[in-house]
Amino acid sequence: EQNLNIKAGDTAKVSFQVEWGPYRVEVEDPQTGLVSRLRVWAGYQAQDNTEGGAVRPDQVKLALDKPVYGDGDTANVTV
């Protein structure tokens, strides 16, 4: 488990070694208590090609539609 405090508008990249198996990534807004969760599976024996664009089932890329959100805004996340 790893906890990060990220300021609004900032980004962060996290990497750490995990064992084979299922995991859950959670993002929580400390002001509202709202939580977003994503289940991922680690350990697939695919070629490690993080810079070459190969698809890896143990990595998930998320893209947001804008850099900052206000109260009541809807976040559109592309997985």
Does pLDDT of 72 surpass 70? yes
Contacts of 47 (CB under 8 A, 6+ apart): 54
Distance CA 14, CA 4 (A): 9
Least confident of 37-46, 49-58, 70-79: 49-58
Q: For residue 46, what is the enclosing H or E element? A: none
Q: What is the pLDDT of residues 10-48, one digit of tens each?
A: 888 877 788 878 888 888 888 898 988 988 877 755 444
Q: For residue 41, what is the enclosing H or E element? A: strand 35-42
